[in-house]
Amino acid sequence: MDLELVLPLAVAALSGRPAADWERPAGPVAWTCRETAEHLADDLFGYAAQLSPPTPPLDGYVPFRVEPMRDGGPASAIWADPDAGVEGLLRVVEAAGGLLTAVLRAKGPEVRAFHSLGVTDPSGYEALALVETLAHIDDIATGLGVPWDPPAEVCARVLARLFPTVEIAAEGPWATLLWASGRRDLPGRERQSAWAPDPTVRP
């Protein structure tokens, strides 16, 4: 499972930076590196929750209470305890990812669940989790000043699942995925002002 491959790489890339660095802005987003990691954990947790009921909802999200910690911050249902430091923050990301991978393994391909971009299946939810992880880890890595270069084959599979009409550029799958998610320019292509992955089930 690609998510099981990517999450340990992501945690390893971000480990070892002092707590003060995590208060820097995260790349192009309006949140700190810490807030962006919490948002990612919340996404992974929310996807697990959406798929996990015996009959997943098709008409809306599981109604957890979500709220921001500050004006302009991400609205989330779960937060890391700040007293647990960076190690605790990354453990929350790992735990949320572990919950999602367990649910993905337990659910068959016939399962359907609501997402605001379209009703999807476990493969769609894994791809959505991957694009959130790949892009937001890049945001955080940019803010922390550390390298992040995920596996090209994983990026290619995410593009094929969520952006089936996007042709991989000469710069490679990772650069193409960053372009498709509105995070970088590519020669000869208009910059994406908004990203619109398509997780719906295809034949």
> What pLDDT score does 77 carry?
97
- Determine the Cα angle at 60 with ends 76 and 64, to 5°: 30
Q: How far apart are CA 152 and CA 173, in angstroms?
A: 6
User: From first to last of its 203 residues, what are the pLDDT tens digits of the chain?
Assistant: 999 999 999 999 999 899 999 999 998 888 999 999 999 999 999 999 999 999 999 999 999 999 999 999 999 999 999 999 999 999 999 999 999 999 999 999 999 999 999 999 999 999 999 999 999 999 999 999 999 999 999 999 999 999 999 999 999 999 999 999 888 888 888 887 777 899 999 87
Neighbouring CB atoms inside 10 A of 46's CB total: 22
Q: Give rounded-to-5 percent helix, strand, coil for the chain.
A: 50, 5, 45
What are the sequence ranges of the domains in the chain?
A: 2-180
Q: Is 162:197 a contact under the CB 8 Å cutoff?
A: yes
Q: How far apart are CA 30 and CA 70, in angstroms?
A: 12
> What pLDDT score does 202 carry?
81
User: What CATH class has 2-180?
Assistant: mainly alpha
> What pLDDT score does 192 carry?
78
